[in-house]
Amino acid sequence: MIDAYCHVGLPRFGTAEEALTIADLYSIQKSVLVLGPMVPDFGTLIQAMQQYKDRIRGVGIPFGNTPEQQIESTEILLHAGVTAMRLQGPEMLPEILNRVGEAGRWIYAIGLRSGGRIAQTNLDWLEKYPNSKIMAPHFLSSDVSKIEGALTELLQHPHFFPIFSRHGGLGSQEPYPHNDLKPWVERTIELAGYNRMMWGSECPVLYWRNENMPNCQNWLNELLGNENLNGFLGTNAQREIFDTPPPKSETVALPNWIEETFDRTRTIPAFDYGGLELPMDVYEKLHHRYVSQLEQNNTLTFAEFVVDVLKETVA
């Protein structure tokens, strides 16, 4: 099993070691570690890429408050050896798209399920850089009518790979296994085939929705029935991501502005996105303890864990 979309980065998303500990608990052999939006923990990602070359690939973000900063941080991460850059919306600047393509790297494109202009931008990029690839996390919706035009062409492109992640947090109005997502899944399979779909946990964000890893891993089988999902759960990612050696890693210097620009006042929307807003520094400590507890009981939900912590506090 390979996790094609796992977040990493302190203090909001945890350490690489915590991500790999969770992976071990659920028989995940390899992971793509992706910096989360607006969390520029470049040091954690770079160290992981150097330390776990056989087990992980790294995906960066174009961090910064200005286009110039976003371009500079992209250059830093490309030199550091990221396999791809996670890009969404206004981050898809022509200068960044060109640098990623010219470096022979890939895009982790967020927001493609909406189709339209963003889908056309990505399609044009693939035509310009035919040896690159686009992975599309969160490629799920209950509105199958969005699969038209450029998005249909993307799904038919041999270098486009949908990642089904955030299963419970993309507009479904039905309980697990979210049957209102089924038409979208079936149309995706019809256009792209089983050999280009990938699975992503979005760990640790799945815990903020109080989901658990076994349900996340078994979701597509529960939705579709007895299908051959070996490709979806790992062999597709092995072939397309891990059979390719990681990019060369160079020593890079991180400018002071990265830390100075990092907004640490953002909160964690725990318990179904908004039930409880946790400061990042508080969540960092809770996440560390939660991972330790999962090693003892890997069915423990984050809500159950927090209740136990509260009991200890008021006892």
Looking at 209, 231, 257, the residue that finishes a domain is 257
Q: What residues have CB less than 8 Å from 175, skipping those under 6 apart?
A: none
Q: Are residues 183 and 278 in the same domain?
A: no
pLDDT of residue 228: 81
Categorise residue 34: left if φ over 0, alpha if ψ from -120 to 50, beta otherwise: beta
Does residue 37 have a cis peptide bond before it, meaning omega lies within 30 degrees of 0?
A: no
Amino acid (one-letter) located at 196? R
Q: Are residues 79 and 219 in the same domain?
A: yes
Residue 168 pLDDT > 90: no
Helical H segments across 231-298, by residue range:
236-237, 256-261, 270-274, 280-296
Q: Are residues 100 and 137 in the same domain?
A: yes
Q: How far apart are CA 100 and CA 244, in angstroms?
A: 17
Q: How far apart are CA 149 and CA 115, in angstroms?
A: 8
Which tens digit of pLDDT belongs to each residue from 46-69? 999 999 999 999 999 999 999 999
Q: C-alpha angle 45/48/54, rounded to 5°?
A: 130
Q: Are residues 14 and 75 in the same domain?
A: yes
Domain total for the chain?
A: 2
Q: Residue 270's pLDDT band (boundaries 50, 70, 90)?
A: confident
Q: Are residues 275 and 211 in the same domain?
A: no
Q: Are residues 245 and 273 in the same domain?
A: no
Q: Are residues 252 and 270 in the same domain?
A: no
pLDDT of residue 274: 60
CA distances (Å), origin 254, targets 63, 259, 270: 12, 9, 31
Q: Are residues 32 and 117 in the same domain?
A: yes
CATH code, 248: 3.20.20.140
Among 196, 185, 289, CA closest to 237 = 196
Q: How far apart are CA 266 and CA 262, in angstroms?
A: 10
Q: How far apart are CA 252 and CA 275, in angstroms?
A: 40
Give the H or E element holding residue 85: strand 84-88
Q: Are residues 283 and 232 in the same domain?
A: no
Percentage of the chain with pLDDT > 70?
99
Mean pLDDT of 261-279: 86
- Identify the domain containing residue 301 by its residue range: 264-314
